[in-house]
Structure 1
Amino acid sequence: MRNPYIDDETEGCVVQDFNTYVGYVADSYDVSEDGLTYTFHMRDGYTDVEGNAITADDVVYSFERKWASESYSTASWGDFKGPDAVTKVDDMTVQIEIPSAGFGLTFLGLLANLQGHIYSKTILDANATKDDPYAMTWSAQNGGWGLGPYYMESQTADQEMVLVANPNYAYGEPEVKKVTLRVVTDAGTRASLMKSGDVILSEDILPNDQATLAEDSSLTVPVVGDPIEYVDLTLVTNKAPFNDLKVRQAFMNAIPYEQIIEEVYAGRAVLKKGNINPSTKGYTTDGIPDMVYDVDKAKSLLAEAGMDSLDFTLTVSTATQDLVNLCILIQSYAADAGFNVEVEQLSAAEFGTARSGATKQAILYRNRAQVQTPEYSCITFFKPGDDPSSPSRWSDELNDQFWDEVDAARALPDQLSDEAGEHWNAAQTIMVTAAAEIFICAIQPTQVFSNSITGWAYRSENQNDFGNFSIS
C-alpha cells in the first residue's frame, strides 16, 4: 500500500495524504466486518526488475524475511503476529489478520512505509545460501530485489550511489532514467552547488541558506502546510532535576519559541502542539497548551519547586548545526528565567548512545513519525509503565492518565473518528502538560531543487521520490 499524493502549498510539489491508503504491490484490499481480516488483491501482471511475476508468495516471503532479520525491528507492529498472521489464499490473494480493528489504520500505515516493503522472492532466493537463506549478505551490497521506482546500479562507499529506473515499476517506468547521488558533507558547499547549477537537487540545506536560495528564480525551496519533522527536547525524568514536574514546566516556559523560528530557522518553521499530525482526520489541537516564552511564569514555577536557579546540561549532536545554534539561543534566553544551561556537543555516535540509554539530563534532536497515524505517534516514542530505558519516563500517575486515553482511542474501530480524536487530543494534552517531551517547532523541508523539477513529494520518511519527478 501507499499514501497517495495531493497538492499542497508549493506549486509543482505534492504531499502524502496521510488519511488515505491506496494500492501499490496490491491493487486493492477488502476489510472483514469485524475489522480483523484484511484481504489484499495483487496487482495483475506485476513483475520485478527481471520480469519475474510478483504474487502472494512474495508477500508471505517478505514478512518471513523481515521477522528473520536481526536488523529489523518488529516493535512498532505491537501485538501483530508477523508471518504467522499472513496467509496465501491463492497466487493473487493474501489475507492478513490483525490483533484489533483499531490497529487497522496503523497497520496500513506500516505497510505503506519503510516497515512494509515487499521484496522479490525469486531474486533473493537465487542469491541465498545454506548459511544465509534470505540472502541478507548479498542484498546489503546489491540492488534490484525491491519493487520501488529505482534499483541500485552501483555504489562507492561514502562517495556515490547510482540508481537506475525500474521499467516494471507499479506506477509506470519513471521519466528520469538515472539518478546519481553524491555525498557532500558540508551544508554550505551543498548550497553553493545549488546556486551554481552544478546539481539539480540538494537536501539538508541550512534554513538561512534556504532563505537566500529562495530569492533565486531558478530554484524552488518548498513549503508545506503541516511539516512533520520537529525539534524534540527531551527532559530526562529518571533523575534530578527533571523528575520534578514543576521544574520541567518551568523550563518549558523558558524556551524562546518565536525567536528560534525566526533566528535559527529563518521563519521556515511553525509552532508545534504535541506530535500528532494536525491534519489527522477527526483530530484537533484545540485545548492543548500553547508553547510560549514566559519568563515570569518560568520563575514562578521554579520557585514552587523550591529553587531560585538551576544549573543543568543540554546535550546535542554536532551533526545537526541548526540544533547546535538552537541550544546556544536557549542558553541565552533561559538565563533570564534562572536556568544556567551548559551546552554539551557530542558526535552523532556518542549522542545516539546517550539518547538510547537515557543517561543525560536533557537532549535535543530532530524527530518525526515515519507512520503518520495518531496511534504510532503516541506509542512509538513513549514506553508504558516504569521502563527505565525510556527517556520520557513519567510518573506512574501520568503514565496511567496518558495510556488510559491512548487505549480508549485504540479500542475504537475507527481511529480517525471524532470520538477517537477526543481521546487523542486528551492524551496529547496530558503529554504536553507533563513537559517531559517538549516539541519546540516543526521545520519545513530541508531540500532545495531546480525549477526544472516538478513532482517533488514531501514524504513521511523524508526520502525523495525520483519516480514522481518530471524534468523540463
Structure 2
Amino acid sequence: MRSTKRILVAATLAVVGALGLTACGSGSGSTSSDSLTIVTPAQAQSFSYETSATGYEAAEFFKNTGASLLRNKYVDGSGSEARHEDYNAFTGVLAKRYDESADGLTYTFHLDTDAKSTAGHELTADDVIWTMRRKFAVKTSIIPFISAPFITSASQFKKVDASTVTLTVAKKSYGYTALSLLANVGYNVYDAAELKQHTTSSDPWAVKWSGTHPNFGFGAYKVTTFTPGEQTIYGANTGYAEGAPAVKRIVQRVVSDAGQRANLVRSGDAQIATQLRPADQVGLQKGKQAQVYDVTSNAMVYMPLLTTSGPFKDVAVRRALAYAVPYDKINTNVYHGRATAISSILPASDPGFDGDGLKANTYDVAKAKAILKSAGYTAPVAFTLTVNNSVPDLQETATQIQTAAKAAGFDVTINAINSSAFQSGLAAKTFEASLGRDYAVVQSPPYVLSLFYTPGSVINWPDFDSPALNQDIAAGNAAGDPTSTPAGKEWNAAQKVLQDQQPTIYINNVQPLNAFAKNVQGYVFRSDNVIDYSQLSLSAK
C-alpha cells in the first residue's frame, strides 16, 4: 500500500435522540478476559452523524460501531509515549488496499467484501456510493463544510465494480487531505441495504431512523443494549474487517461524578474511566493504581466568542479578554502539569511550519484594561460563559477565568448545562462565550485553519467570517504541497488573522483525560482522542 508524505484525519464530534433495544444488562465491573467496564460522564444520545457530530461520547460511539475505508497505522511510542497513529502511513480497513493514478488525481480503493456490518450484511461498492451520497445530501451534515475544497461532492466517488470504487480530486495537492478525511469517522461507510429498509418519503436517507437505531455500520462492535442516562452495552462484531476484537463485551456506564469514576478504576469495579480531572489522574498515577498515558496531544482547550452579536461583536472586547485569561494558573491549578501553553493552532513540528510573528496569549491585566478604556468601556463588561457540566476540567477552568477576568474589567457569569443542551446551543450559536476541549483530527494546515471558521458551517461556533482569513487559506491551497515552505507562509498569514481578531481564545493543549486498569493493554492515542475498543485486551491480574 502506498504511503503518503504526511497523512492526517478528520473531525468528529455528539447529538440528541433516544433508543430502546434489549433489557438492561449488568453494569458491574468485570474481571474476565473478554469483558470490561468503562465509566463515562455521558453517552451518545443519537446515532446519526449527519444530524449532529459533536461530543466525546458520540465520537467514541461512531469510531467503535463504524469503519472507514482506511485508517492511520498504529505504531509504538518511544520512551513514555503511548502507542499512537503514524500520520505518514495508512493501513486498510474496509479497503484492502488503494492505488494512486500517475497524475495523482484518482485513488482506487479495493474493498474487503468479506467484511460484514453490525447488521450482518457484506460490504459492497454500493454501500460506499450510497453512503457518500447521504453525507452530501443531508442538509444538517457537516461533511460538506469540513471536506471542502478537497472533497466537495459525492459525484467524486465512482463505482468501478462490486468491489472497487474510486475518488477523484481536483488537484494533486488535495490528495493527502482527502485520503485523511476518508480515514476518519466522518467518512464511516454505512450498510446501505440496512438503511434502505427504513427510508421514507419524509426521511429519504433514513437519517431520523438511524438517530435511534445504532446498528448500521461496519465497526468492531454493535450496540446490544442502550439505556438512556445509564449505560450502553457493546457486543463484538465477528465480521469486522480487521478481525473480531479480543474484548467481546463492553459495558459503558454513565457515572456523573469524576471522582467516583476514578475510584471505580481504583477499586477494580471499572477498567477504564474517561473525562477525569487531571488531579485524579495524577493521584492514580502516583499511587500506581492505574495507567495514565502521555502523548503528543492535539486536544485544545479553547473559548469561542460569538462575533455577530453581544459583547464580543466588538473586536476590542475580544482582544481585551485574551489578556484576561490566567493561562499559567489554568495549566497549574486545573491540569497539574498535564497541559502546555500554545501559540498556534498548527503544530510547530509540521513540515513547512512558519511561526514568524506568532506569539502565545499572556495574562496581562493592565493591557486588558487599557484596551477596554481605549474602546470606551468604563463599566465592567458582563458576559455569560457556558460550559458542559459533564466535563470537570472545563468547569474548573471557567472558575479560574471568572476570578482572573474580574480584575481585568470583566463580569463573568458561569452557565453549566448538560451535554445535550450544550451541543444544541453551540450549533444554534446562542452562547456569548463557551469553553470546549476539541481537536482538528486532520492535522493538514488548511483543514485545521478552516475547521471552525468556514462561513456558514454549523461548527463555526464564533460565527466568524473573515475575508482576509479565507483569502489566506485559499492562497495556501493554491501554493501546492500544503507542507511546503511557500504554503507555510500563507498558513502563517492566516494564523496572524486569528491572533489579531481573536474569534477564539486558545488556552492550551491537554493530555488525554482517561485512566486504565493495570491489566488493560492496547490503548492507542488517536487524533480524534477517542478509544479504539478493537485494540484493547485484558491480561490476568
Q: Give the whole-Å Cα distance in 1 for the aligned partners of 2:458 and 2:252.
A: 40
- Corresponding residue of 1:57: 126
Aligned residue type for 1:382: Y
Distance 2:516 2:283 in 1: 13
Are residues 234 and 141 of structure 1, via their aligned partners in 2, closer, same or farther at CA, if it must alter by over 3 Å?
closer
Between the aligned partners of 1:170 and 1:308, the Cα distance in structure 2 is: 63
Equivalent residues, number: 466
Structure 1 residues 79-94: aligned runs within 5 Å: 80-94=151-165
Structure 2 portions without partners, runs of 5+: 1-69
Q: C-alpha displacement at 1:262, in angstroms?
A: 0.7
Pairs within 5 Å for 1:378-457: 378-384=449-455, 391-392=461-462, 399-457=466-524
Answering whether residue 302 of structure 2 is matched by residue 237 of structure 1, we say no
Q: 1:335 to 1:64 in 2, by over 3 A?
A: closer
1:8 to 2:8 alignment: no
What CA distance in whole angstroms lies between the structure 1 residues aligned with 2:190 and 2:506? 36
Percent identical: 33
Q: How does 1:312-323 map to 2 (within 5 A)?
A: 312-319=382-389, 320-323=391-394
Distance (whole Å) between structure 2 residues aligned to residue 211 and residue 84 of structure 1: 50
User: 1:324 and 2:425 equivalent?
Assistant: no
Cα distance in 2 for partners of 1:290, 1:81 equals 34
Matches of residues 174-253 of structure 1 in structure 2 within 5 Å? 174-225=245-296, 227-239=297-309, 241-253=311-323
Residues 234-255 of structure 1 deviation map (CA, whole Å, 9 limit, x = unaligned):
2333246434434322221221
Q: Which amino acid aligns with 2:71?
A: R
Does the 8 A contact of 1:317 with 1:348 survive in 2? no
Aligned to 1:335: 406
> Which residue in the other structure is 2:99 paired with?
30
Q: Check the 8 A contact 1:12/1:456 in 2, yes or no.
A: no
Structure 2: which amino acid aligns with 1:333? A
- Structure 1 pair 340/83, CA: closer, same or farther in 2 (3 Å)? closer
Matched residue type, 2:148: G
1:176–1:281: structure 2 CA closer, same or farther, 3 Å change rule? farther
What TM-score comes out, normalization by structure 1 length? Answer: 0.87
Match of 2:26 in 1: none
Identify if the C-alpha distance between structure 1 residues 63 and 235 changes in structure 2 by more than 3 Å, giving closer, same or farther: closer
What amino acid is aligned across from residue 275 of structure 2 in structure 1?
D
Q: What is residue 73 of structure 1 aligned with on the other side?
A: 142
**Offset of residue 344 of structure 1:** 3.8
TM-superposed deviation, 1:137:
6.1
Asked if structure 2 preserves the Cα contact closer than 8 Å seen for 1:299 and 1:308, the reply is no
Task: Specify which of 323, 331, 341 is matched with residue 271 of structure 1.
Answer: 341
Change (3 A) 1:306 1:83: closer
Q: Which amino acid aligns with 2:300?
A: Y
Distance 2:105 2:467 in 1: 27
- d(CA) in 2 for partners of 1:369 and 1:346? 24
Aligned AA for 1:374? Answer: P
Contact 1:101 1:412 in 2 (8 A): no
Q: TM-score, normalised by structure 2?
A: 0.77
RMSD across aligned positions (CA): 3.1
Shift of residue 448, structure 1, vs aligned partner? 0.7
SS of 1:458 mapped into structure 2: coil
Report matched runs for 1:297-312 at 5 Å: 297-307=367-377, 310-312=380-382
Structure 2: which amino acid aligns with 1:408? A
Contact 2:469–2:497 under 8 Å retained in 1 = yes
Q: Per the alignment, in what secondary structure is the counterpart of residue 524 of structure 2?
A: strand
- Which 5+ residue runs of structure 1 have no aligned equivalent? none
Q: Given residue 217 of structure 2, which amino acid in structure 1 is its aligned partner?
A: G
